[in-house]
Structure 1
Amino acid sequence: MEVQLLVAWNLRRLRVERGISQDDLALTAGVERAYVGYLERGARNPTIITLEKIATALEVHIAQLFREPDPGEQEPAILKAGRKKKA
């Protein structure tokens, strides 16, 4: 898998697993929301500094953004649009 697509796959997987919106991730990481969308589509090539900010916001080691998917692993789901209900 091409490295940009690998990062895109893992970024979306980790974000969805945590139930974090693109907006919230962008705010926490200090990047533009649209940029998170570009990264998740593999349309941009992020710097290592940006990857570090995103990994920190996701509370994972940066290496998790480069994990190869397991054979047969399903593409990460899409979160429902809109705001999450407050607890």
Structure 2
Amino acid sequence: MSSPDVSGLPEPGTRAKAIVVRTDRLVERGRNSGPLHNDMQAAWPASAFCDLAEAAWELTLEGCIGAGRAPDFVDAILLHGATA
């Protein structure tokens, strides 16, 4: 399966950095308001989220999971791990 056309979009590194910055802010809000662990650096859960999102995107492109289910899988693994 081919990758989406990204011509005319900002450099991937620039876009990725912006996503990481926004994700770090989201994690910080979660840590400050209580639902997320505050005993680890925000970079850890933020990086885990970004990695899960990238994996979901790749698996969607490969046809392993449907686009509609991908966010649920990311949510479930991020919040509950891979436990049954």
TM-score, with normalisation over the residues of structure 1?
0.31
Normalized per residue, which structure has more helix?
2
Q: Which has the higher contact order (CA 8 A, sep 6+)?
A: 1
